[in-house]
Amino acid sequence: ACREQIWHERAPHLSGCYGSTPVHATRSSRKACRIQHHKRRHDRVMGAPPRAELDSKLIGETVTIRAGSDLVLDAAVGGKPEPKVFWSKADKELEPGDKYSLTYTSTRAMAIIKSCDRNDTGKYILTVKNASGTKTAAVLVKVLGKNRMILAGSTLHLTATILGRPLPVITWRKTGIDLQSRGFIDTTENTTALTVEKVHRYDAGKYTIEAENPSARLDLYLKQLYAKIHSVSNHIFIF
């Protein structure tokens, strides 16, 4: 009897829920166990809600990329039962082909936009949905113009289309340079053009077009266009 008493005194005390309610559990602990068992059973029946987490490089206001480059849209996905996953643009699901390469697994959703151009600018939406609900994630994409290269000593030619009624007054500007004397400006009813001959590294920078007419008294500039020129060695790059 003494040995049995000693064994009982040294016997370990079990607490918590291990598939059944402990015999000596209090009323509150038995209730907690029942709630926990019910939740586990509910999760097994209902599954897990869908998940969509964009790659950190895609998180931000706008993702920019140069024309001609490939853009990768990647995200972690999940859910139970396994969700339906797809990328879309302008309410149209992306289709695999020459333009898009699509890879969907139970944990990843990847879309590669090949050789981007300005038509690829816009909002891309990842949709992940199953019986537990729908989760979406959006990426704003802006495709910038291709780089152009001209040799130092050659001629730079920039053009822009003019819109406005009455016809706006056009002014070309560049900080530190009088373009009226440095270049030749030709403005017609629909277009304006700037020509700079024998370009050199001092021609690198930002070129701005200002357009103004009587309808733009509150907002001085109807339209501004920019051309950036960077000089590298004896080459001038236009962006």
Delineate the domains of the chain, giving CATH numbers in brackets: 49-144 (2.60.40.10), 148-238 (2.60.40.10)
Q: How far apart are CA 65 and CA 97, in angstroms?
A: 21
- For residues 204 and 4, the model is more confident at 204
User: Average pLDDT, stretch 56-74?
Assistant: 89
Of how many residues is the chain composed? Answer: 239
Tell me if the pTM is above 0.75.
no
DSSP lists the bridge partners of residue 127 as 86, 136
For 48-112, the DSSP string reads EEEEEEE-GGG-SS-EEEETTS-EEEEEEEEEESPPEEEEEETTEE---SSSEEEEE-SSEEEEE
Per-residue pLDDT of 107-147, as tens digits, reads 999 999 999 988 999 999 999 999 999 999 999 999 887 66
Per-residue pLDDT of 170-225, as tens digits, reads 888 888 888 889 999 998 878 889 999 988 878 877 778 888 877 653 233 333 33
State residue 121's pLDDT score: 93
The DSSP call for residue 216 is G
State residue 19's pLDDT score: 44
